[in-house]
Amino acid sequence: MVGRIKVLDEGVINRIAAGEVVERPVSVVKELLENSIDAEASVIVVDIESGGRKLIRVRDNGTGMSRDDAFLALERHATSKLESERDLVSVATMGFRGEALASIASVSKLRLVTKDDSDAAGTEIVVEGGVLRKSTQLGSGRGTMIEVRNLFYNVPVRRKFLKGPGVEADHIRELLVKFALAFPAIGFKFSEDGKSKMDAPAVRSTFERIHTLYSKDVRESLVPVDCARENAQLTGYVARPPYARSNMRSVLTFVNGRSVRDRLINASVNRAFSNLMERGRYPLAMLFLALPPEEVDVNVHPQKAEVRFVNPRHISDLILDGIHEALMGAPFRQPAGPQLPMYPRPVHSPVSQHLRENRESSEPAPSTCGAPVMAQAPPVDVSPSCQPLIESQGRFSSLGILGRLPNSFLVLYSEDELVVMDHHAAHERLLFDRLLKIERQGGTSDSQGLLIPKVLQYSAVESRALAAHLKLLEQAGFVVEEFGEKDFVVKSVPEWFGSTDLEGFFGELVEAMLDTGIKGDPDRLKEELLKRMACTSAVKETSTMHQEEIRSLLRELDHTAAVEVCPHGRPFTVRIPFNEIRKKMSRK
Ligand code: ADP
Ligand code: MG
Write down the mean pLDDT value for the chain. 82
Q: What is the pLDDT of residues 557-575, one digit of tens each?
A: 988 767 899 999 999 999 9
Asked if pLDDT for residue 329 goes beyond 50, the answer is yes
- Give distance in angstroms: CA of 119 to centre of ligand 2: 22
* pLDDT-derived band at 304, boundaries 50, 70, 90: low
Instruction: Please report which ligand is nearest the Cα atom of 65.
Output: 1
Q: Tell how far the Cα of 292 is from the centroid of ligand 2, in angstroms.
A: 23
Contact 95, 79 (CB under 8 A): yes
Question: What per-residue confidence (pLDDT) applies to 13?
Answer: 42
Cα–ligand 1 centroid distance for 322 (angstroms):
36
Number of the ligand 1 atom closest to the C-alpha atom of 93:
2
* Nearest in space to 560 (alpha carbons), one of 322, 337, 240: 337
Instruction: Find out whether the beta carbon of 165 lies less than 6 Å from any atom of ligand 1.
Output: no
**Which residue, 457, 505, 459, 458, is CA-closest to 478?**
505
CA dihedral of 270, 274, 277, 280, whole degrees rounded to 10 = 60
145: pLDDT strictly greater than 80: yes
Q: Phi, psi at residue 378, to the nearest 5°? A: -65, 145
Cβ of residue 335 lying under 6 Å from some atom of ligand 1: no
Q: Phi/psi class of residue 434: alpha, beta or left (left: φ > 0; alpha: ψ in -120 to 50)?
A: alpha
Instruction: Indicate if ligand 1 lies below 6 Å from the C-beta of 36.
Output: yes
Closest C-alpha residue for ligand 1 atom 19: 35
The preferred substitution site among 38, 107, 108 for testing ligand 1, maximizing ligand atoms within 8 Å of CB, is 38
- CA dihedral in degrees (156, 161, 167, 168; nearest 10)? -50
CA distances 470 to 245, 436, 531, Å, are 37, 16, 16
Q: Does ligand 1 come within 6 angstroms of the Cβ of 100? A: yes
Return the CA Rg of the chain.
31
Residues 241-257: what's their mean pLDDT?
93
Which pLDDT does position 577 carry in this prediction? 94
Ligand 2: centre distance to CA 40 (Å): 13
Q: Examine the pLDDT at 410 and tell me if it is beyond 90.
A: yes
User: How many CB atoms neighbour CB 448 within 10 A?
Assistant: 13
| 470 in Cβ contact with 458 (< 8 Å) | no
DSSP per position, 412-434: EE-SSEEEEEEHHHHHHHHHHHH
d(CA 199, CA 572): 38
Taking CA 458 as the corner, what is the angle to CA 457 and CA 464, rounded to the nearest 5 degrees? 125
Residue 486 confidence class, pLDDT cut points 50, 70, 90:
confident
What is the CA(105)–ligand 1 centre distance, in A? 13
pLDDT for 520 beyond 60 = yes
Question: Within 238-339, where are the H helices?
Answer: 263-272, 312-328
Contacts of residue 187, Cβ cutoff 8 Å, sequence gap at least 6:
42, 43, 44, 200, 201, 202
DSSP tag of 209: H
73-86 average pLDDT score: 68
Whose C-alpha lies nearest to ligand 1, atom 16?
80
35 CA → ligand 1 middle, Å: 5
| CA–CA distance, 360 with 353 (Å, rounded to integer) | 11
Q: How far apart are CA 123 and CA 68, in angstroms?
A: 9
pLDDT tens per residue, range 174-225? 999 999 999 999 999 999 999 999 999 999 999 899 999 999 989 989 999 9
How far does the centroid of ligand 1 lie from the alpha carbon of residue 539, in Å?
Answer: 64
Cα 85 to averaged position of ligand 2 atoms, centre (Å): 17
pLDDT over 90, % of the chain: 51
159 has a pLDDT exceeding 80? yes
Residue nearest to atom 17 of ligand 1 (CA): 73
pLDDT tens digits, one per residue of 345-403: 333 333 333 333 443 333 333 332 333 333 333 333 333 333 444 445 788 999 999 98
* pLDDT at site 83: 59
pLDDT number for residue 100: 85
What is the mean predicted confidence (pLDDT) over 433-451? Answer: 86
Does residue 89 carry a pLDDT above 70?
A: no
Q: How far apart are CA 83 and CA 95, in angstroms?
A: 13
Given a cut of 70, whether residue 426 has pLDDT beyond it is: yes
The number of the ligand 1 atom at minimal distance from the alpha carbon of 82 is 4
Q: What is the DSSP string of 67-104?
A: HHHHHHHTSTTEESS--SGGGGGG--SS--SS-HHHHH
Provide the pLDDT for residue 76.
73
Average pLDDT over residues 575-579: 94
Atom of ligand 1 nearest to the CA of 60: 23
Which residue, 534, 560, 497, 547, is CA-closest to 345?
497
pLDDT of residue 518: 75
pLDDT tops 70 at residue 438: yes
What is the position in ligand 1's atom list of the atom closest to the CA of 78? 10
**pLDDT top residue among 162 and 303:** 162
Q: Decide whether any atom of ligand 1 lies within 6 Å of the 61 Cβ.
A: no
| Atom 1, ligand 1: residue with shortest CA distance | 98
Nearest C-alpha neighbor of 224 from the set 211, 212, 208, 207: 207
The stretch 399-419 carries a mean pLDDT of 91
For residues 302-310, give the mean pLDDT. Answer: 76
